[in-house]
Amino acid sequence: MKTTELIALEERYGAKNYKPLDVVLSRGEGIWVWDEAGNRYMDCLSAYSAVNQGHCHPKIRQAMVDQAQKLTLTSRAFRNDQLAMLYKELCELTNSHKVLPMNSGAEAVETVIKCARKWGYEAKGVTEGRAEIIVCSDNFHGRTLSIIGFSTDDNAKQSFGPFTPGFKCIPFGDASALEAAITPQTVAFLVEPIQGEAGVIIPPKGYLKQVRQICTEQNVLLILDEIQTGLGRTGKLLAEEHEGIQADLTLIGKALSGGFYPVSAVLSNDAVLGLLRPGQHGSTFGGNPLACAVARQALKVLVEEDMVSNAAAMGEYFLGQLRENGHPAIKEVRGIGLMIAVELKPGTPGGARAICESLMKKGILCKETHTHTIRFAPPLVIQKENIDWAVQRIKEAFDEIASA
């Protein structure tokens, strides 16, 4: 079936909650994807960092095939031979005490909200029904009803209320605002180390260290949403490592399965996750043997193939090459590791979407964020020659848009 026919079917039968570029992909390998007509593209989005290990990594694929032939689902009513090993390997890798497995990133966020409130009532002594969680403006933690209720994106909230109470919003990157917002009812501070959906917004140096100190002094849980920033994306296994801190609860997902299966997890300590009792939280698919086998192999290749160090080196190189572009339409190039944004000056013809559409025609797939920002987040297996190839085409796209 032709591209136009597939797009027409999607438009006819699908809900209009996405606005994708008009490319229909059918195959992927490493940093590359191909459309149904056989055209090749460099993937510079990595499914929002879900395929950090590259598309269809053969070792992860084989782990999935092997496990799918043996046992896929038991529910947590019974034990399986993969879950305990995932717990052990994940705790050893991330220096965690406990793991609570879930499926999607949003489900992990909903889980951590429940856990933080429970800790607040049973350990901190907050009055029942009064627990408060502090979040940041321009946050993105998912699409469920509770989560969008504390979003500052009006488009995400319009016509979906009423929303779950119990959240207070402060500016991102402002440690003094956090300190001022804490009350005796505050149980947690939920924050992204780097705001991805907001346009790769990096907080001031030392921010996370200050936040960690404030939360410790005030007996408030620090929750880091590392669903996008974690598992190598920023050139460290977890972004918190850049400032030498450890959160009380850390959320991971996306690349936890290398793009093969929905897997997420809440990482924490005995003091928080130890409060959960049978029947108080769960998921039919959470911790299933297929997910666990895939996640174990996804973590293994991330470490054994040194993808985290490669992300640090290639990210520095990519940033440097983009900054050398110096095009007058570019306001700023920022990033850390392979989490990079190019922000355009207001008034650039067509905005970021036009650049993304131009790059698609040149064989690069990336995504605009809001109106003026383009994100570049290729798989962590990218090499210098790939970056050189991409940078030349990015420069051409900017030259064409500006001249138009």
Report the catalytic residues. Answer: 140, 225, 254
Ranges of H-type helices in 162-217: 175-181, 207-217
Please, are residues 91 and 266 in contact by the beta-carbon 8 Å criterion? no
Beta strands in 233-326 (DSSP E): 249-252, 264-268
Residue 202 DSSP label: P
Q: How far apart are CA 198 and CA 306, in angstroms?
A: 29
Residue 238 DSSP label: S
Give me the DSSP letters along 78-146.
Answer: S--TTHHHHHHHHHHHHT-SEEEEESSHHHHHHHHHHHHHHHIIIII-PPTT--EEEEETT----SSHH
Helices (H) and strands (E) in the chain, counts: 14, 15
Q: How far apart are CA 272 and CA 251, in angstroms?
A: 14
C-alpha distances (whole Å) from 388 to each of 168, 331, 402 are 44, 22, 21
Which secondary structure element, helix H or strand E, spans residue 303, and what is its range?
helix 289-304
Residues composing the chain: 404
Going across the sheet that includes 330-336, the strands are 330-336, 339-344, 373-376, 367-369
Q: How far apart are CA 372 and CA 329, in angstroms?
A: 10
